[in-house]
Amino acid sequence: MNVTMYDTPQAFEALKADWNDLLARSYTNIIFSTWEWQKHWWDAYQEGELLLIGFRSGGGVLLGIASFFIAKDDEGKKVLAFVGSEDVTDYLDLIIDREHTEEVLRCLSGVLQENRSRYDVIRLCNIPDDSPTLTHFAPLLESFAPKVEITPHEVCPLFVLPKTLDGYFDSLDSKQARELKRKLRRAEGSGDMAWYIVDDSHDLNAELERFLKLMAKSHPQKARFLENPKHVAFFKVFMPVAYEKGWLQLNFETVLETPVATYLNFVYRNDLLVYNSGLDPEAYGALSPGIILLVNNIEYAIKQGKNAFNFLRGNESYKYLMGAKDSTIYQIKAHLS
């Protein structure tokens, strides 16, 4: 196996032609590991020292990518982490051809051991619970790391979509189902509510600005998040790219033609991923526009034949009221000294 280590952003261009093809063959095919996400995340944040490692067969076929960077933590220790970090990325993993899992992981372990002087800690977060990285790679780290820990990191509540909206209501707690139906009847009775999905008839940049304003209004924590210019820069650069790839579903609920609630979703591998949302809490609260829009999203996903409705990271109570169950993402932490 041929190994190439990259430490400049040109690495993304060098691997671009083969990156997403490998991802489609990998054991964890997620939007957050696409070339587009990884490249634009690095452009926006550039945290620390880039370290991308490519693994190719003797015939030149790309079999693995380990997309890392090295940065100091609050204690001054040098930490090797996934490109993507945590603030804006929900799932992370190695990108490895599922037919070559063990050989690539063994090779990667050897490369990390040879370069152990460059970092004090290996900290890989947001790994899905069914990933071979947890079961096959962590034991390999134990061969040279005195202490390796696998711990639950966070939850991503989700549910499998039924075939019909009635089937969805039937899956809920009966009290919650009645409450949702009551809110839907009230919204329909008002005659003032509508919703739309952003498409080519809209100005995407203007709609993204509208989304960011509603996002900031919805909660002080989200407003503080958007005070970081790197977060805003990433949103504004990546979302148009996602739209062109058919991955972005941005939608709004309107009351009297005024947008008052919004969801920014990703559609990837036939799943709908609820990435972020916004709401004007002072506008038409009696009509529950945020909940109404969420039900509209669920119904639309059902009609489109989507498989799962994934709320991504966070254990907010409304996710469980809407029928979601926890899936867990994990962290591997290897202490090298």
Domain boundaries, the chain: 2-155+329-335, 158-310
- What lies within 8 Å, CB to CB, of 212 at 6+ separation is 226, 232, 235, 278
Residue 28 has pLDDT above 90, yes or no: yes
Q: Worst-scoring range by mean pLDDT, 74-88, 100-114, 319-333?
A: 74-88
pLDDT at position 159 is 98
Provide mean pLDDT across the span 187-212: 96
Distance separating alpha carbons of residues 129 and 93, to the nearest angstrom: 11
Q: What is the pLDDT of residues 285-305, one digit of tens each?
A: 999 999 999 999 999 999 999
Residue 337 has pLDDT above 90, yes or no: no
Distance separating alpha carbons of residues 315 and 78, to the nearest angstrom: 30
CATH number for the segment(s) 158-310 = 3.40.630.30
Report the CATH superfamily, name and number, of domain 2-155+329-335.
Gcn5-related N-acetyltransferase (GNAT) (3.40.630.30)
pLDDT at position 85 is 80
pLDDT at position 47 is 85
Domains 2-155+329-335 and 158-310 share a fold: yes
Provide mean pLDDT across the span 196-213: 98
Tell me the pTM: 0.96
pLDDT at position 304 is 97
- Would you put residue 305 in left (φ > 0), alpha (ψ -120 to 50) or beta? left
